[in-house]
Structure 1
Amino acid sequence: MAVFGLASAVAGFVKVRFLVDKAIIDNVVFRCHYRITSAILFLCCILCTANSLIGDPINCINDGSVSGNVINTYCWITSTFTLPHQQGKHVGTHVAHPGLGNYVDEENETRYHAYYQWVPFMLFFQGILFYVPHYLWKNWEEGKIRMISDGMRGVMAATREDRKDRQSRLVQYIIDTLHLHNSYAAGYFFCEALNFVNVVGNIFFVDVFLGGAFMTYGTDVVRFSGLNQENRTDPMVAVFPRVTKCTFHKYGPSGTIQKHDALCVLALNIINEKIFIFLWFWFIILAVLSGLALLYSLVIVVLPSIREAILKRRFRFSTPAGVSALVERTQVGDFLLLHLLGQNMNMMVFGEILDELAQKLSDYMHNNVPTTPSTLEMSPIYPSKDKFPKETEA
């Protein structure tokens, strides 16, 4: 029951939030990092530490001259090993288990397995790494979208007059802070790039952790599933062996050092092998999506025509000609602010805001007169000006 309690707590990362006071400040790929991936890694960490699911993580068999608790504890805190030259041999006739057979210290190469002690810690650490970019962006963003879209997210205002008043104040705020959001956009794009670096770095990190076996782990498993069942070696057993060897030394009655050979069953590897094969495919998919999202952001920064197409296609604008004028008079930071606002508002409301914004910008450019001071800070529906991010006070 404790496992289900912890799992339900982790579910809070991925739950869909319909509350009005929650503003969307990123895209779907961004949320896949800090909500879905972090939740997956934390859940896997819980599964690895839930001994009730698989029993004891290690059980060793010996000739009885060493206490079972002693040999189990010793082999868990030190390490166990397999013999690479015994891999691929027929089980039951040539070897007792995959990778286990006759062993001579001087002649045979050994592969030691000590990672299983660190798997829960590593998964927890990875979960934190995937949450860090969101944490940085959330602190950089400082709740700007939530504050300036207050009362216009989700369900529309109760009366048309109230909604129009809020829209006018928001439009005036955007005009007063025009071209002052580039550092805001830079923070977002930096955290988006950090997401991509993070997922690629985690692939290499896990590969080092597993001794260089993670890079081809997924492709090896896929290839294994298509081979003849009688003549195939499971790559998951090679990376996460279920039975390993352990050597324990102690003094005999006459003071001679005795060597005790034990076979250890690693039940925990049944879960580990499933976790890492899933993570292999998930990290690859997430890396591709993050790379495409980063390329998409780069195109937005470089090509104003793409920004125009996005506004026209995603947010049904009533006057297409106004979109071109709007894009010409705004910069990347202004576009990102508008884009995030559009994700939080009803499509019709956002279209009206863009219409009004384009009209006011056009009037201002043609008349070349300063706009009236913003009344955002004087409105009871908006926080005071000193609560906005510093760059908006300029």
Structure 2
Amino acid sequence: MLKTFEEFSKNIKFKVKLVSIDNLVFKLHYRVTFILLLVCTILVTSRQYIGEHIRCINDNGVPNNVIETFCFFTSTYTVVRHLDPSAVLSGGGMLPGVGPYVEGEPVVRHAYYQWVPFVLFLQALTFYIPHWIWRNKEGGRLKVIVNMFEYAALVSSDEDITVNNKKIPSRKAREENIAVVRKAFLERLHLNRPWAMWMVFCEVLNAVNLVAQFALTNAFLGGQFFSLGPKVVETSGDDADILDIVFPKVTKCTFHKYGPSGSLQKHDALCVMALNIINEKIYVCLWFWFVILSVATALGLLWRLFTFVFHSRSNVFNRRIFKLATPQQLEPYEMITVTRKCYYSDWLFLYYLAKNLDGFVFKDIFVGLAIDFDNADTKALEDLADGASSKATTIVTDEEKEPLQEKKDS
């Protein structure tokens, strides 16, 4: 069974990434939920843990393996008339939905168990797709910058040092890399919009996918998933277990075959659904996890909206946010100078630089950007002043020419 996922597992590597390109809520989708659904997929395909998925009994001489194969690939059912919990509790029935069946009366068909592993696996992929999209659209920009300063915090010499095949750059190389990042940031100022837009889009896509998976699972379980968690919590000792109704452990199956005389014979069988022992626990856990993930996702989107509103309006907000991202203290004037010049996309890129770079390195970059913005403002003011002075001189010169010309004529 495990060999089924052997090739797939080669592409799943559990390691700490040096570069963070998303937040905690994003990771809950493509790491925790993705792995949880893969584990559930493996569980429902594991015969060594629960035995055969279905076992059927009949008293009509039909081989059990034939009945079991037929009932598993078609579907089993429970009788609506016997789903009354009071009848079971009063001893009127063996299990919910199991009892005498009259041809034509309403029944509930149970065919979902055939598709559980496929649905769980596809759900796992859908939770990973937004991360895959974002990783490709991000393009490794942060990784390139982080690699430039991998050992920059260890700089202590005017020359490059190699220790255990790892190159520690010199002070000059460090300053040159900082200058390169500052120049690149200024050249792309206000051009980072696609980068930030794709990130926000993928965060929204996570939320949309979660809602879609909730609805899909509910439809898959015959409309029982939305209320599954509350009913499990509310079930008391005097009530029939809701799990025995949604995931029946014993079901009925009807098998038809031709007899010796050519007449059609109907064989009624009882089937023990061992697989539902696992299914019920999986879907109860998924219900609670989806609820937790929904709350976290909603808070994540609200936080994204909050940062969009206050990133250029509150210096206190910026100081606290960057303090969480980097241990270095940034001066209020520098913070105001840089953040007031940045669009949200530029601010977000700086925030992720702060999360990934060493604090001293990021502070040098940030201070340098503040100086660059100050110099740009000073130059703009000087150009404006020069233009105004030139214009004034031209006007004065023209005005002075008139009396001089009149004096010359006289």
Q: Tell me the TM-score normalised to structure 1 length.
A: 0.85
**1:349 maps to which residue?**
361
Q: CA deviation at 1:11?
A: 10
Match of 1:96 in 2: 94
CA distance in 2, matches of 1:352, 1:155: 12
Q: Please say which of residues 143-152 and 133-142 is displaced more in the overlay.
A: 143-152
Question: What's the secondary structure of 1:90's corresponding residue?
Answer: helix
Among candidates 208, 221, 224, match of residue 232 of structure 2: 221
Q: CA deviation at 1:302?
A: 3.2
Listed as ranges, the matches of 1:314-329 within 5 Å are 314-316=321-323, 317-329=329-341
Match of 2:153, SS state, is coil
Superposed displacement of residue 83, structure 1: 1.8
Q: Which residue of 1 aligns with 2:343?
A: 331
Structure 1 residue aligned with 2:393: none
One-letter amino acid of the counterpart of residue 62, structure 2: V
Looking at structure 1, the residues matched to 314 and 245 of structure 2 have their Cα atoms a distance apart, in angstroms, of: 50
Which residue matches 1:147?
Answer: 144
Unaligned runs of 5+ in 2: 157-169, 324-328, 383-410
CA contact (8 A) 2:311 2:317 kept: no
SS of 2:340's partner is helix
How far the C-alpha of 1:343 sits from its partner, in A, is: 1.4
Shift of the alpha carbon at 1:12?
4.0
Contact 2:145–2:181, Cα closer than 8 Å, also in 1: yes
8 A Cα contact 1:3 1:46, kept in partner: no
Question: Is 1:9 aligned to residue 9 of structure 2?
Answer: yes
RMSD across aligned C-alpha pairs, in angstroms? 2.5
Q: Distance in 1 between matches of 2:75 and 2:25?
A: 39
Amino acid at match of 1:45: T
Q: Deviations over 1:236-285 (max 9, x none)?
A: 11111111000111112222221111010111111111111111111111
Equivalence map 1:18-167=2 (5 Å):
22-87=18-83, 88=85, 89-90=87-88, 93-106=91-104, 108-153=105-150, 156-159=153-156, 161=171, 162-167=173-178
CA distance in 1, matches of 2:153, 2:111: 58
Q: Report if aligned partners of 2:75, 2:111 keep a CA contact under 8 Å in 1.
A: yes
- Seen in structure 2, the aligned counterparts of structure 1 residues 285 and 59 have a Cα distance that, compared at 3 Å, is same
Q: Please, which moves more after superposition, 77-86 or 350-359?
A: 350-359
Q: Distance in 2 between matches of 1:134 and 1:92?
A: 52
User: Aligned pairs, how many?
Assistant: 361
The 1:154/1:93 distance shift into structure 2, 3 A limit, reads farther
Write out per-residue CA displacement over residues 177-233 of structure 1, whole angstroms, 9 at most, x where no aligned residue: 111101111111111110000001100010011110000011111111xx2x2x221
Task: Find the aligned partners of 2:23 and 2:316 in 1 and give their Cα distance.
Answer: 18
Compared CA separation, residues 212 and 5, structure 1 to 2 (3 A): closer
Q: Partner of 2:77: helix, strand, or coil? A: strand
Query: 1 CA distance for matches of 2:186 and 2:241?
Result: 63
Query: CA 1:271/1:7 → structure 2, altered by over 3 Å: closer, same or farther?
Result: farther
Shift of 1:148: 2.3
> What is the CA–CA distance in structure 2 between the aligned matches of 1:101 and 1:339, rounded to whole Å?
64
The alpha-carbon deviation at position 290 of structure 1 amounts to 1.2
Is this contact kept in 2: 1:154–1:346, CA < 8 A?
no
Change (3 A) 1:203 1:67: same
**1:216-365 maps to which residues of 2 (within 5 A)?**
216-224=227-235, 227=236, 229=237, 231-305=238-312, 308-316=315-323, 317-365=329-377
Is contact 1:56-1:267 (8 Å) kept?
Answer: yes
User: Which of 189, 196, 213 is the equivalent residue of 1:202?
Assistant: 213
2:100 match: secondary structure? coil
* Correspondent of 1:192 among 173, 178, 203: 203
- My pick for the range that moved more, 149-158 or 249-258, is 149-158
Higher mean C-alpha deviation, range 354-363 or range 198-207 = 354-363
What does the per-residue CA deviation read over 1:87-109, in whole Å, with 9 as the maximum and x for residues that have no partner?
21236931122221121123x32
SS of the equivalent of 1:248 reads: strand
Give ranges in structure 1 of 5+ residues lacking alignment: 371-394
**Change in CA separation of 1:148 and 1:11 when aligned onto 2, cut-off 3 Å:** closer
CA displacement at 1:85 relative to structure 2: 2.7
Task: Determine if the alignment matches structure 1 residue 366 to structure 2 residue 378.
Answer: yes
Separation of aligned partners in 1, 2:296 and 2:313: 19
Ranked by relative contact order (alpha carbons within 8 Å, sequence separation 6 or more), the top structure is 1
In structure 1, distance between residues paired with 2:4 and 2:332: 52
* Percent identical: 39
Following TM superposition, by how much is the alpha carbon of 1:305 offset from its aligned partner in structure 2, in angstroms? Answer: 4.3
Secondary structure of 1:348 counterpart: helix
CA distance in 2, matches of 1:6, 1:201: 29
Q: Under a length normalisation based on structure 2, what TM-score does the superposition of the two structures give?
A: 0.82
The 5-angstrom pairing of residues 175-186 of structure 1 reads 175-186=186-197
